[in-house]
Amino acid sequence: MTAEPLPAWFMPPPGGWTADHMDNLPPGVPRMELIDGALVLLSPQTRFHSQVMRRLANALEDSAPRDVEVLQEMTMKLGKYQRPEPDVLLYRFEKGDEEHLDWYRATHVPPENVLVAIEIVSDESRDRDRTTKPLKYAQAGIPHFWRVEHEENGPAIHVYELDGTKDPRYVPVTIARERLKLDVPFPIDIDVKALAPR
């Protein structure tokens, strides 16, 4: 049995992969994100991941003000070699954004107006979701980060916010297993138990 050769598009361009290269991949390639200049293929989602992502996005959309968009699986350009894809993000759509964001064709959002980046942890993404990506989000100045973990009795939402120091990092705010109630970035009240697959 011989191994199939890698497709031509998978070979790094001269100088390596950049965030801009992600828009020039041919149609039909698998979903990927770019972390430190390396392409990361995204594994198929579990039922837990898919249901929690959809229900969490719906719950956030119900409470979000009109100028906040709830987006799923949308990449952010955080620098030349960084284009991660949070599972859910909250983006404040400000006057003037329509000049540089075509909402019918945009494949990414800039990090400046991202309020919350949310990762739902899977077996294969555990290290990225717990360490690598939160560090990138903090360095980009995204004020809030949530990490959703699968626990024996259902999901747990770990909530973090930037600590405001010169070297930005997230500090823990709370862990919600029953109900998540927050005042920032806007009033939020989520039944965490209801996010799990039935």
pLDDT tens digits, 138-161: 999 999 999 999 999 999 999 999
Q: Using CA of residue 95, residue 97, residue 102, residue 105, what is the dihedral sign?
A: negative
The CA distances from residue 98 to 31, 37, 74, 83, 168, in Å, are 26, 29, 17, 21, 29
Residue 99, phi-psi category: left (phi > 0), alpha (psi -120 to 50), beta (remainder): alpha
pTM for the predicted model, two decimal places: 0.92
pLDDT at 167: 87
pLDDT tens digits, 106-118: 889 889 999 999 9
What tokens were used for 19? Answer: 């965030």
What tokens were used for 77? Answer: 């350009």
